[in-house]
Structure 1
Amino acid sequence: MSTIAVAPAPGRARCRLVAGALSPRVLHADDGGARVALVATGALLLGGDEVRIDVEVAPGGWLEVVETAGTVAYDAGGTPSGWHVRARLGEGARLSWCGLPLVVADGAHVRRSTELTLAARARALLRETLVFGRVGETGGVLRAVTRATLDGADLLVEDLDLGPAARRSPGVLGERRVLDTTLALGWRPVEVPAGHRYDLDGPGAFVRYLGADTHSGTGPALAATSWRADLDLP
C-alpha cells in the first residue's frame, strides 16, 4: 500500500511517504502542505494487482497529488485487479487530485474505489477519466465506486457498473468510450464551466463528459483548472 500523509508544521510540512505499487515523491512543500507525485514502480494494472493508496491531510493542511502517467489495465483474461483510494481530510484541509486517464483494455476486469472522509470545512477536488479500450478495442469490465462523507454525513455515493453490456445500455454510455468527471466536494463552486454540471444535495458539484475521445470534452478540464483556484493552493 502506498501512503501519503501531510501535516502543517513551522518551516516545512511534515510528510510521511510510503511506497507500494506507486512511489510518492515530494515536488514542493511549504509550512502548510505539499505537492506529491505518484510514480509507478512497475507495469500497472496486471491481473491480480491490488493497488491501494492511503491519503491523510491533517487539519488546516493541503495536498496536491500529481500523477506522472496514465494507467492501462491490461488484458488479463478476466483475472480481476483493483485500484483503491482512501483519503481522510481533517478540519479545513484541502486536497486536489486531478488524475490522468485509466484505460481499460479488452480482457481487463477492474474494480476501482474511491472513499473520501471530509471533516468540517474540508475541500476536495478530484478528476477521474475512464477510457474503454485502446485503439480498435471495446474495453473490458470496470466497476467504479465513489463514496464521500462530509462531517459524518453522506455527500456522494455513486456505484457504476461499467461492464461491456451494462455500459452500452440506454442512459449509460451507449457507443461512447470515455467517461470524464471533475468533482468538487465540501463547497459549491460559483463558476460554471462548459459541459454538464450537476450540483449535489450538499456542498459539492461535478462536471461530466461522455464522448468518443478524451480531447473533445473540455468541461472537466476547465472545471479542474477553475475550481482549483477555490482551494487557494500554492
Structure 2
Amino acid sequence: MDGTTRVGVTRAAGRVRCDLRPGALSARVLSTGPGVARVALVATRALLLGGDHVRVEVHVGEGVELELVEVSGTVAYTGRGRAASWSVDVVVEAGGLLVWDALPFVVAEGADVARSTDVRLGAGAVALLRETLVLGRTGETGGRLRSSTRAEHVVRPVLAGGPQHDGGEISPPGRSDPVCLEPARELFVEDLDLGADRALPGILGTARVVDSVLLLGARPPALHPDDAVATGRHPLRLDLDGPGAVARHLGASTHDAGLDTVVATWAAAARAARSAPLIDDQEQTALLQTTGA
C-alpha cells in the first residue's frame, strides 16, 4: 500500500502557514510561535507491512523553524516475501531549520526494507536528523535493511566570472556583473546494505543498533566533557568536509547510545545560530490547510 505524507511550513504575510497532507502518517500541529512550528507525525494504520511504500515529503520555507515529533517508533514486520520501502524527501529553504529527532525504526525478522533519505538545503539552512536503526526485536536477528542518505547544500550566490586577482590582491567585480548560484554541493552520501553479511568483522559485528545524529548546514560545538562524564558514553563524531557532522553509536540496544545529549546540544546550537528574523508575537498566527482524513 502506498501513502505519501506531506508537511510544509512557510511564512506569508506575517504568519506561519502549515500545509499538511496525510498519507500513511498523519501530520498534526502541536504548537506555533514566532517563525516556528512544531508538528507531530502519527501513524494512520499498522506500519510497516510487506508491500508498503511509505513516503514523507517535508518542505521548510525560508526563515522558518520546523520541529517534527514522532509519537511512536516504526516496526517493519515480516513481509512474507514482499519488500517494503520508506523514503523521506526534505527541502529546507534559505535560513530555515529542521529538527527531527526520530524514534527507532525496527526491522523485524523476515522483513525486507529499502529506506532512503534525501535532503536539500538552501543558503544558511540547517537540518538536524536523528536516525535509529534497530535490527530485530528482542530475541531476533532482524531482517534485511538497505538504507541510503543523500544531502546537498546550495552554496551562496556568486557573481558570474568570480573575483579577479590583480597583483596578489582580490578586486571585487563591478556591480553590473550578473549573479548566479553555484552548483549544489554534496554534504553527505552514505549507503548501508545490512543484510546477511552485516555480522562480519568490520561491518556491525555483534551490534544490532545503528544510532546516528546528522547535522547539515552548520558545524556543531564539541560535546562538553562534563556531558560525556555524566552519561558515561562517548559517541563517535565525524566532521564533514562541508558544514556539518555526524555522531554515531553501534551497540546492542537503544539505551546505551548516549546520543540524546548530542541531539539536545546540537539543536540548541543550531537554533542559536539562526539569523532568520523573528515575527512579532502579536502578528503571529497559524493557518492550517489539510486534505483528507
Aligned pairs for 1:193-204 within 5 A: 194-204=234-244
Counterpart CA distance in 1 for 2:115 and 2:260 is 21
* Contact kept in structure 2, 1:57 and 1:90, CA below 8 Å: yes
| Structure 2 residue aligned with 1:232 | 271
Q: What is the TM-score normalised by the length of structure 2?
A: 0.77
Counterpart CA distance in 2 for 1:22 and 1:65 is 12
One-letter identity of the residue aligned with 1:177: R
- The 3-state SS of whatever aligns with 1:92 is coil
| Structure 2 residue aligned with 1:93 | 96
| Structure 2 residue aligned with 1:114 | 117
* Contact kept in structure 2, 1:88 and 1:118, CA below 8 Å: yes
Counterpart CA distance in 2 for 1:95 and 1:127 is 11
Query: How many angstroms does 1:231 deviate by?
Result: 2.6
Q: What is the TM-score normalised by the length of structure 1?
A: 0.96
Deviations 1:63-122 (A, max 9, x none): 111000000000112311011000101111100001000110011000110000001110
Counterpart CA distance in 1 for 2:14 and 2:124 is 24
Deviations 1:183-214 (A, max 9, x none): 10001111226311000011110110000111
* Contact kept in structure 1, 2:8 and 2:20, CA below 8 Å: yes
One-letter identity of the residue aligned with 2:93: G
- The 3-state SS of whatever aligns with 2:265 is helix
| Structure 2 residue aligned with 1:156 | 188
* Contact kept in structure 2, 1:12 and 1:30, CA below 8 Å: no
| Structure 2 residue aligned with 1:69 | 72
* Contact kept in structure 2, 1:142 and 1:162, CA below 8 Å: yes
* Contact kept in structure 2, 1:9 and 1:32, CA below 8 Å: no
Aligned residues: 232
One-letter identity of the residue aligned with 1:30: G
Query: How many angstroms does 1:146 deviate by?
Result: 0.3
CA radius of gyration, larger in:
2
What runs of 5+ residues in structure 1 fail to find an aligned partner?
A: none
**CA RMSD, 1 decimal:** 1.4
* Contact kept in structure 1, 2:221 and 2:269, CA below 8 Å: no
Worse-superposed segment, 73-82 or 89-98: 73-82
Deviations 1:122-152 (A, max 9, x none): 0000000011111111000000000000111
